[in-house]
Amino acid sequence: MGVVIDSCKSTIKCCDSDDEGGYTRKYSRYIESDSDNADNGQEDEENSEPEEKDKKQEGPTDVKNIKIKTNSLFMQRHQSPYQFYEELEELGVGNYGVVKKVRLIKNPDVIRAMKIIPEENVLQGEGASLIDEIEILKNLEHPNIMKVYECFVDNNNYYIVSELCDQGHLLSKMEKLQRMDQIVVKFLMDQIFNAVAYLHSKNILHGDIKLENVLLYKTSKRGGRRFTSINEDFNEDEALREDINQNFGKKKTSAKSKNYIKDMMNYEIKLIDFGCSKYFVRKKSKKKKKLTGIIGTSIYCSPEVVDNLYDEKCDEWSCGVLMYILLGGIPPFYGDTEDEIFDKIKKCEYDFSPPPFKKVSKNCKDLIRRLLEPKKQYRIKAAEALRHPFFTESFDPNSAMTENKDLSVIKKFINPVKYQSKFHEAVVVFLSVSFLPSDEENSLKAVFRYMDKEGKGVITKDSMKNAFDEINVSISDEEIQKIFDDIDEDGSGVIEYQEFLRNVCNVQNLMSESNLRNVFHHVCGEKEVMTGEDVKKFVFHDEEVNENVLKEYFEEVGMKIEDSITFEEFFEMIKNNTKAKGKEEAGDKDKTKELNKMKYKKKESKYAFKGPVIDEEKAEEEEVGDASPRNRKTYKEDEELGENGGIKENGEIKLNGIETQDADNGDGNGKEKLSTVADTIVENEDNKMKQLDDVI
């Protein structure tokens, strides 16, 4: 049996070009982040569309219209990753390079995976698909698809930092178990179909679904599944017990078998390796592309891939092959050579004669047949597969959800957090993507999956309305629309996974000093201060921004583009959801001084030169009158102000009730004293303004 399993490790035949210049062009496109123009595959000339060159996207005309998308925060750095990460151990080696476990230097609790690809491999073709893989992955938000955080490029290598799945892939599990039981296969395939249905809803095909590209990881809390997990009350779950007994025959299920199943049900999957992925619908005409070129792995290839003309339905075929292998321990199509394998695939020669299939239900076999349908137009879709009786024969997907769901969290949608600025909002989005604790994410994932009735990895308006009904909250269609207007950042008409998480997670729990320090250095690198230019680039990158929008953006942040802030200032402004401390006060102080100067220059101002006239007898005793209100005896509007702001009378100038000598009296200090008095008034006004600000 092990020899047959080894045959699953066929060579990947990706849609790579032989033209070395093609890889250079792909790299250039990657650096420019022009993912919308990525075709990701060959296509016939008659259906190709002219490229729109040098077309600049118009930016928002109002700060309120700026949308903070998750993929917009994906960072591409031209520097070494070892300024931010340290290596822990090697996880695996492949033709493209090596994968290592790493951790953040400034937050050692954060452990991730880093794929390292030598530059020569990318330029020579071994890793050319890396470029398209990153472009696609950074636009995906699904709990069962690998999350990519950032990318680095230095003189020697390319580095992709992603979330860590440290339990290996399905192939390594199969090598130990030889086959899996129907209840476990149901649980795993539910997640795989969810991921594939989501991809297809985004007009993306994976192109290389196989055991090696399904990673496993264990969760501390079971969340985000359509089916009840096996727990200590195993014997009380009649439907679950019946299903498991069916898989093991009618014999009593042993404790060892229960433990194995219970252990497998604590795994969740992540779909990886998008090097062969393609957009199968054109962005402009919305017509399907005619995709050509061998992709994927030979034993998983669909008949249309073998015939060199295919679409997204090749993924469903691969899912059928994978499901067959999990249940039977052998692939449905195999041979000594690739030609033999392809011949059997085109003839669709397979059966359910291997012994393990004697214990497999009719519904399970029916789903496999529908997935391995040779005519793609009749092949079942991933979203349809989730509604197949195989997934509903023992469980009600609408009621047998994980016990950890708490629908009350959706009340946060009604009154979403109002952020001080778009910069503040972008920081929170980054925190929710990068540092959300796994326990909290699993609990929220359970709610998301419960609301995702169609299994497409998104929440619709109808499912949102139904969720509010379930928690007895009355909400109108207009209010639902308002929620979607606030949350649907990419304008897709649905709420995706990361959009959901950022709005229902506990934001304050994310704002630890270590997390915010990582954000600080993510934005400004290793500098000691974050500049206004850094603050601009974090949201706008290198886009051209309307001058008025940029001005309003910085006014909300509380700084100017020429300013800079320390980590301490950054920490305070984000933690308290306020403007940059110190920068706001300095700006207000400058405005106040300017305003006070205008008071003494403009006669028309209602504040200009109002005040008491000093008592004449008092004035004779003092060289300069006291400007304090308690010493003023009379208050009246001065009607005889000159251009210099005072009444010239016998060589003396009275300014707002303050008496001083003019230069004409011969001592030469008149102008200096006048200036000193004016400054004193401005300073007093500043102090009053400051006191008022403190009270506010």
3-state secondary structure 447-512: HHHHHCCCCCCEECHHHHHHHHHHCCCCCCHHHHHHHHHHHCCCCCCCEEHHHHHHHHCCHHHHCC
Q: Per residue in 428-451, is it b (16+ CB within 10 Å) or e — as a string? A: bbbbbbbbbeeebbbbbbbbbbbb
CB 469 within 8 A of CB 477: no
Cα–Cα nearest to 655, from 625, 615, 633: 625
Average pLDDT by consecutive 10-residue portion of the chain (696 residues)? 43 37 28 36 42 49 73 75 93 83 90 89 61 82 90 89 88 88 91 94 93 85 42 38 44 54 82 88 84 89 94 96 95 93 94 92 96 96 93 55 69 87 92 88 87 84 91 91 87 88 90 92 88 91 84 93 94 92 53 52 46 49 46 43 46 46 48 53 58 50
User: Which amino acid is it at 63?
Assistant: V
pLDDT in the model for residue 597: 55
Residues whose CB is less than 8 angstroms from the CB of residue 446 and which lie 6 or more positions away in sequence, other chains included = 223, 224, 225, 401, 402, 404, 405, 406
How much is the pLDDT for 214?
Answer: 95
How far does CA 321 lie from the centroid of its chain? 32
What pLDDT was estimated at residue 401? Answer: 40
- pLDDT value at residue 403: 52
pLDDT for 60 equals 66
Separation in Å, CA 304 to CA 318, 373, 386: 12, 11, 23
CA distances from 133 to 27, 162, 274, 277, 497 (A): 12, 12, 5, 7, 20
The residues, ordered by sequence, that sit 6+ positions from 307 with a Cβ below 8 Å of its Cβ are 346
Residue 320 · residue 364 · CB < 8 Å: no
pLDDT at residue 491, as a whole number: 81
Q: What is the DSSP string of 646-691?
A: SEEETTEEEETTEEEE-GGGSSS-HHHHHHHHHHHHHHHHHHHHHH
pLDDT for 677:
52
Please tell me the pTM assigned to this model.
Answer: 0.69
Tokens of 46: 């008659």
- Structure-block tokens of residue 695: 């009270």
Q: What is the 3-state secondary structure (H, E, C) of 298-319?
A: HHHCCHHHHCCCECCHHHHHHH
- CA atoms of 629 and 649, how far apart (whole Å): 23
Q: What tokens does 536 get?
A: 């601009």
Q: What is the SS3 string spanning 182-208?
A: HHHHHHHHHHHHHHHHHHHHCCEECCC
pLDDT at 437: 87
Sorted by where each starts, the structural domains of the chain and their CATH numbers stand as: 2-16+166-392 (1.10.510.10), 59-162 (3.30.200.20), 404-581 (1.10.238.10), 589-695 (no CATH)
